[in-house]
Amino acid sequence: MADLHDLTALDQGAAIARGELTSAELVEHYLTRIAAFGDRVGAFVTVTADQARAEAATLDAAPPDARGPLHGVPTAIKDLTMTAGVRTTFGSAAFADFVPPVDADVVTYLRAAGTVSLGKTTTSELGASCYAETSVAPPARNPWGLGNTAGGSSGGAAAAVAAGLVSVAQGSDGGGSVRIPAAICGLVGYKPSRGVVSGGPLGFAGFGLPTHGALARTVTDAAAFLDAMAVPTIGEPYLAPPAPGGGYLGAARTAAPGRLRIGRFTTPMLVDTPVDPACVAAVDAAATALAGAGHEVDDVAAPLTPAMWPLFETIWHVLSLAPVAPERESSLLPLTGYLRARGATVSAGQLMAVLGELQTRVREGLARLAAYDLLLCPPLATPQAAVGWFTSAAEPAEDFDRQRRFSPYCAVFNVTGQPSVTVPVGATDDDLPVGVLLSGRYGDDARLLAVAAQLERLAGRVDRHPAIWTDAPSATVNGV
């Protein structure tokens, strides 16, 4: 008999709607698994068990006509995302005791959609790195191979979904922070077009690079989660593109995008570095599958080149300058301190010049590929990295350089604002997941989701799980 965590998020919502399952039962099932396996995979910083139980009871009493497709479904919120009344550390000892007075808009919208947060998932310090190894929680580990990182900055979210601790989770992505962990952990990681999801109520969305996204086992679960998050919000600095008729879930369910032109490349865009054969093989497999489905797939030059790295690097340094009390600066990790020190040297004039130059490069690159509906490339140059590999660098500058060599693709699509998604397609020789990255035209999220769902069906990896998936929690969990 299948376990409750075998059900997708949409399956869980449908079972609740039919009266075959309650939100309370799901919450207890997942809390038991979190107690048993959460620290093993480094998924959670804070678990909100009592609050989740209370919310589930309220949702189970709601009338049927007030229930959407994710009503009663457990989820989790990234520890970089403010949640009122819940400790939110931003992955840092500098904020170890911080409890926000307000919710991020996305938290409000997910709650309104009927999802139940089980807690806050592990993130990198201030979201500054592509791995999640901090001083406030165990490192986020890939459930497929616990010696490897789950990635970052949404590493805990990916670990939670891949280990069967929630069916879908919220993440945020300013340079690949949803798509990198998803690729590592064999998940779908969806970054929507700029403006689709509110970044409020605080901040101005980091020059348009960051956005909230979804980590899920299926494209349809990610699309349903996007529907819940994509609520038009007054005062947003970026105009949201029109939502598709039938919603993003409707687009994903059709999985019929029509015949498209797809540009394929494997050349890294942020640095000249070798690409692992497994990453190239996954792109080749995806290209073959999509061509077999009737799409035209052409080899193209990458839209941007490593020449843009100094521009992006400058912006990333400035983005690290989140407000930190002077007396807490000493508790920051070496990488964060390094990035902030570099950011502090950037003048306002220099920043404006960099932003202008970057916009020019982006326009030129996209214009060269305007004939293509989608772009297909690897999300990573190497499919996996060991826990501690980045931090073992002799200096923080080397740590940062290792990160761009590991992930030289994803951040470009934060600069362009295009929708971008990882889909699990292949595996390494030792059966660790390998994903591919599909990116669509700005605002064309519906078509991207339809193609991603089509590729997901062709790849046939939805029902593959790591060994921890079928592990039963012990009766003596955590020594109790």
Domain-embedded: residue 477: no
pLDDT higher than 90, residue 334:
yes
153 annotated active-site: yes
Domain-embedded: residue 479: no
Residues 6+ apart with CB under 8 A from 467: none
Structure confidence at residue 112 (pLDDT): 98
Using CA atoms in the order 123, 127, 131, 133, what is the torsion angle rounded to 10 degrees? Answer: -50
Q: Over range 250-264, report the average pLDDT.
A: 93
Q: Over range 24-42, report the average pLDDT.
A: 98
> Sign of torsion, CA 387 388 391 392?
negative
- 92, 154, 177, 320: the catalytic one is 177
pLDDT higher than 90, residue 69:
yes
pLDDT higher than 60, residue 478:
no
120 annotated active-site: no
Q: What are phi and psi of 174, to 5 degrees?
A: -110, -10
Structure confidence at residue 46 (pLDDT): 98
Q: Over range 311-330, report the average pLDDT.
A: 95
Domain-embedded: residue 23: yes
pLDDT higher than 60, residue 266:
yes
Do residues 64 and 31 lie in contact, with contact meaning Cβ atoms separated by under 8 Å? no
Q: Tens of pLDDT along 226-256?
A: 999 999 999 999 989 999 999 999 999 987 8
DSSP three-state, residue 384: coil
CATH number at residue 31: 3.90.1300.10
Q: Tens of pLDDT along 136-172?
A: 999 999 999 999 999 999 999 999 999 999 999 999 9
- 92, 117, 129, 153: the catalytic one is 153
Q: Tens of pLDDT along 209-218?
A: 999 999 999 9
d(CA 374, CA 287): 12
Do residues 125 and 82 lie in contact, with contact meaning Cβ atoms separated by under 8 Å? no
Q: Which of 88, 67, 61 is nearest to 10 (CA)?
A: 67
d(CA 330, CA 72): 42
Domain-embedded: residue 134: yes
Domain-embedded: residue 476: no
Domain-embedded: residue 473: no
pTM of the model: 0.97
- The per-residue pLDDT of the chain, averaged, comes to 96
Domain-embedded: residue 196: yes
Which structural domain range is residue 223 located in?
4-468
Q: Residue 204's pLDDT band (boundaries 50, 70, 90)?
A: low
Using CA atoms in the order 26, 28, 34, 37, what is the torsion angle rounded to 10 degrees? Answer: -90
Q: Which of 339, 348, 435, 336 is nearest to 384 (CA)?
A: 435
Domain-embedded: residue 478: no
The count of domains in the chain is: 1
Instruction: Tally the residues of the chain.
Output: 480
Structure confidence at residue 480 (pLDDT): 33
